[in-house]
Amino acid sequence: MGMYDDVKGSFKCPECGCINEDFQTKDYDCMMNTLDYKQCDYFYTSCRGCKTWLDVFIKPEIIEKIAEIRNSITHDDYIVDARDYNE
């Protein structure tokens, strides 16, 4: 099992509406540190309600591209993208 950092934030799943608060990222030190979501550009989790894979992107240029093609919840400063790998 690979190392990662935990990311804390509160984001709603676009599929079921469940609030998810525990995410992971491998974009930083991967030393099991806990980061605030505002420190990250990208992080992910499996929804605790429906098990849909959630990717959260913070960079504006990524938000614009993904919002056009996926089932997403878009905000001014982030996007939550849902991908169902169970199908």
pLDDT classification of 12: cutoffs 50, 70, 90: confident
How confident is the model over 30-40, as a mean pLDDT?
89
Least confident range of 15-24, 25-34, 54-63? 54-63
- The pair of three-digit structure tokens given for residue 43, joined into one six-digit string: 């992080």
Domain enclosing residue 33, as ranges: 5-83
Handedness of CA 21, 42, 24, 74 (dihedral sign): positive
Structurally, how many domains does the chain consist of? Answer: 1
The helix (run of H) or strand (run of E) holding residue 18 is none
Asked whether residue 38 carries a pLDDT value surpassing 70, the answer given is yes
Write out pLDDT tens, residues 43-57. Answer: 999 999 999 899 888
